Amino acid sequence: MNKLALIFCFLIFQAHSQTGISVSPPRIYFESKPGTSSTQKVTVTNVSAKNTLDLAVSLGDWEYDEKGENMMYPSGTLKNSCASWISVKNSDNYFSLAPGERKELEVTITPVKIANDTLPTHTAVLYVSQMNPVDDFDSKGANIKVSIRSGIKVFHTLSNSLTKKIEIEDLKFDQSTNNLNLKFKNQSQIWVDGKISTEIINIKTGKKVVLNDVVFYTLPGNLRKLSIPVTEALEKGSYNASVIIDYGDSSLLEMAELNFNYE
């Protein structure tokens, strides 16, 4: 019996090297005034080895949860939705791509002249969905039908000059999981992304442990809870952990320190 598997991705997915869609870029950013249209291009590529894909374009809403995972909703669900402002050419709503073929989509956003809210930033997601499922196999070798849906995140602001502000609210070490647990909030009126750098120093010996950087993305008002793994074994002793959130130039840094004992 064939099963239908819907695979959703924001980047590139390839199922057993038989079918897949690449979209580039995965995020597009607009700045325009009410009633003024702006257009950007997105490239869609059929990375399948042998399957022609019939594709359709649609729109939806999305937001992040506290862990930074994507939460998807129907178009027009969220108060910051700009899905109704977005359009593509009629000829681009439905199209087919042969194996290896690519197509440029022109994505146009036209904010309404009279705003329904006072929010300075809005978001939506543009889906490119496969309409003709193809035969494939799951990890156990069973026959399945695979259909791919890829999403491009759309961001819109009336002005990119809005002040960015990230504020750290809490930093703790959990020895049971060997994680540094960080909580911070995007206090801005615009999206903020960047990286988190962490160092741990043994106060007695001075030995330094540098943890892997963590990339993050946030929307206005987002509270983010991240667990940063301490991948190197620590000796018993007292430590100082410093966390730096870099979300722009040198003036846009947020830092927190924590002293803890490892037993």
By C-alpha distance, which of 84, 88, 161, 167 is closest to 123?
84
Tokens found for residue 48: 């399948």
- Tell me the per-residue pLDDT of 12-53, one tens digit each, with 9 for 90 and over: 343 344 568 999 999 999 999 999 999 999 999 999 888 899
For the stretch 149-171, pLDDT in tens is 999 999 999 887 788 999 999 99
Q: What is the pLDDT of residue 58?
A: 97
pLDDT the model gives residue 127: 97
User: By CB neighbour count within 10 A (0-12 exposed, 13-18 middle, 19+ buried), where does 217 fall?
Assistant: middle
Q: Mind listing the domains of the chain with CATH numbers?
A: 7-157 (2.60.40.10), 166-262 (2.60.40.2360)
CA distance 156 to 31: 6
pLDDT the model gives residue 134: 78
Rg of the chain taking only CA atoms, in angstroms: 22
Dihedral sign, Cα of residue 200, residue 185, residue 153, residue 253: negative
pLDDT, position 139: 64
Query: How high is the pLDDT of residue 140?
Result: 67
